[in-house]
A = this chain, B = another copy of it.
Amino acid sequence: MKYIDGGVCAPKGFKAAGVHCGIRSKDINKKDLALIVSDEMCAAAAVYTQNKVKGAPIAVTREHLRDGKAKAIVCNSGNANTCAPNGVEIAEKTCELTAKHIGADPADIIVCSTGVIGEELLMEPFEKGMPPLVKALSYEGGTMTAEAIMTTDTVSKECAVEFELDGKICRIGAAAKGSGMINPNMATMLSFITTDAAISAGMLQKALSEDIKDSYNQISVDGDTSTNDTVAIMANGMAGNREIAAEGTAFETFCRALNMVTEVLAKKLAADGEGATKLIECQVKGAPDKQTARILSKSVISSDLLKSAMFGEDANWGRVLCALGYAQADFSADDISVEMGSAKGIVKVCEHSALYPHSEEEAAEILSEKEIQIYVDLNQGKESAAAWGCDLTYDYVKINGDYRS
């Protein structure tokens, strides 16, 4: 397996594009409409936000994916189409418009929106933007699409990987956005994944649902789960492998490849968190079970106290223990070790749940880097997991409090 270029267009038979259509009326240089189209019909699956307040596009996409098939993804930024008038109708019309222009059935379109909530999303920009969008579709359009779904993300985020199934070269590509904020509302995590591997819709859903437990669900910028989060995956089978229709070696290979892509994007999302100056990774090992390791690592990177300490480049291990201790998980807190690391080295700061003598200067030097690792050993089992977040900075408060000024 190896990383390759191309994002969502790395797999065979996927075209993509992004244009400015006018949903963001104030900034004509910012793309606000993205489209990904497969040459062949795809097996498709998705996972959605757990928020009870859901964007209207989620209801429509869920209905369209009932048959496990899709041909394209259309996504606008600048308006979340959430708690807004005629939301479902607008999302359905967007699918009809897209389908008409690419020659597909509206029921085979996945639709997503991200941006302001509570404001009506109008059809006019879609109608104006669809012809140039479809015209711009290209087998090299991955980056265009990744850019068009950005809100306050500071960089576009894509990733692709190549691997082999039955002697056939397969690829998985993806774009993601999020942990940015859109004036004046909320962050949305979106990720669109494409693959030319042949895999049934059922196994695709299974792979995706498992994968997010160790990738997108293990990141946090501010603990606020958006109303529009969606991860969608389409598999067009054009790599020519035997369709993966059950568990086994091929499915495991596919899942490993998928995780190679999603983990990279999850880290990119965390590193681009609002106001962030540092990516913080917490690895928990020695856990009694996998889920406990996941919960504990995520609790550490979610702690405002720990995040503030990382911004201050202070090896405040007490806050790590505190965040482990209040996590909703069943474990013993009696024999915890903590190390902190970066490209500058690793320092042990806690052993047997107590201070491990260390140089504060050395620790501060290690924490001066842009990527920080916090290694936790619970010393009570064999399972491990990781989670990714960012530091809490003045700019987070500024972006989310002062955005009008």
Q: Do residues B318 and A186 form an inter-chain contact, with CB atoms below 8 A?
A: yes
Q: Do residues A321 and B53 form an inter-chain contact, with CB atoms below 8 A?
A: yes
Chain B: minimal CB distance from A22 (Å): 21
Chain B: minimal CB distance from A395 (Å): 9
Q: Do residues B400 and A52 form an inter-chain contact, with CB atoms below 8 A?
A: no
Tell me which of A8-16, A252-260, A304-312 binds B: A304-312
Q: Do residues B400 and A353 form an inter-chain contact, with CB atoms below 8 A?
A: no
Contact pattern, A 109-122, Cβ under 8 Å of B = 1, otherwise 0: 00000001111000
Which residues does chain B contribute within 8 Å of A319, judged by CB atoms? Answer: 185-186, 224
Q: Do residues A309 and B52 form an inter-chain contact, with CB atoms below 8 A?
A: no
Q: How far is the CA of A185 from the CA of B210 in the complex (A)?
A: 37
Q: Do residues A312 and B224 form an inter-chain contact, with CB atoms below 8 A?
A: no
Partner of A312, one of B85, B333, B403: B403
Which residues does chain B contribute within 8 Å of A394, judged by CB atoms? Answer: 394, 397-398
Q: Is A167 part of the contact surface with B, judged by Cβ < 8 Å? A: no
Q: How far is the CA of A355 from the CA of B87 in the complex (A)?
A: 13
Which residues does chain B contribute within 8 Å of A186, judged by CB atoms? Answer: 305, 318-319, 322
CB-CB nearest in chain B for A229: B326
Query: A53-B333, A355-B119 are contacts. A322–B401 as well, Cβ < 8 Å?
Result: no
Partner of A304, one of B304, B317, B321: B304
Q: How far is the CA of A83 from the CA of B334 in the complex (A)?
A: 9
Residues 349-405 (chain A) with a chain B CB within 8 angstroms: 350, 353-355, 391-394, 396-404
Q: Do residues A303 and B392 form an inter-chain contact, with CB atoms below 8 A?
A: no
Q: Do residues A318 and B404 form an inter-chain contact, with CB atoms below 8 A?
A: no
Which residues does chain B contribute within 8 Å of A353, judged by CB atoms? Answer: 53, 83
Contact pattern, A 312-341, Cβ under 8 Å of B = 1, otherwise 0: 101011110111111000011100000000
Q: Do residues A312 and B401 form an inter-chain contact, with CB atoms below 8 A?
A: yes
Q: How far is the CA of A176 from the CA of B223 in the complex (A)?
A: 28
Which residues does chain B contribute within 8 Å of A138, judged by CB atoms? Answer: none
Which residues does chain B contribute within 8 Å of A54, judged by CB atoms? Answer: 325
Q: Do residues B224 and A308 form an inter-chain contact, with CB atoms below 8 A?
A: no
Contact pattern, A 214-241, Cβ under 8 Å of B = 1, otherwise 0: 0000000011111100000000000000
Q: Is A99 part of the contact surface with B, judged by Cβ < 8 Å? A: no
Q: Is A51 part of the contact surface with B, judged by Cβ < 8 Å? A: yes
Which residues does chain B contribute within 8 Å of A400, judged by CB atoms? Answer: 304-305, 308-309, 312, 392
Q: Is A50 part of the contact surface with B, judged by Cβ < 8 Å? A: yes
Q: How far is the CA of A128 from the CA of B331 in the complex (A)?
A: 40
Q: Is A184 part of the contact surface with B, judged by Cβ < 8 Å? A: yes
Q: Do residues B53 and A354 form an inter-chain contact, with CB atoms below 8 A?
A: no
CB-CB nearest in chain B for A352: B83
Q: Is A346 part of the contact surface with B, judged by Cβ < 8 Å? A: no
Q: Is A59 part of the contact surface with B, judged by Cβ < 8 Å? A: no
Residues 166-183 (chain A) with a chain B CB within 8 angstroms: 181
Q: Do residues B312 and A404 form an inter-chain contact, with CB atoms below 8 A?
A: yes
Q: Is A104 part of the contact surface with B, judged by Cβ < 8 Å? A: no
Q: Is A84 part of the contact surface with B, judged by Cβ < 8 Å? A: yes
13 further interface pairs, Cβ-Cβ under 8 Å (given A83-B318, A83-B355, A186-B322): A50-B326, A54-B325, A84-B354, A118-B350, A119-B355, A184-B314, A185-B319, A222-B303, A224-B323, A311-B401, A312-B404, A314-B403, A393-B401
8 contacts between A and B (CB under 8 A): A52-B325, A118-B350, A185-B318, A186-B305, A224-B322, A304-B400, A308-B397, A391-B401
Please give me the 4 A-B residue pairs with the lowest Cβ-Cβ distance, nearest first: A53-B325, A308-B400, A312-B401, A225-B326
Give me the interface of A with B, judged by CB distance under 8 Å: 49-54, 82-85, 116-119, 181, 184-187, 222-227, 302-305, 308-312, 314, 316-319, 321-326, 331-333, 350, 353-355, 391-394, 396-404
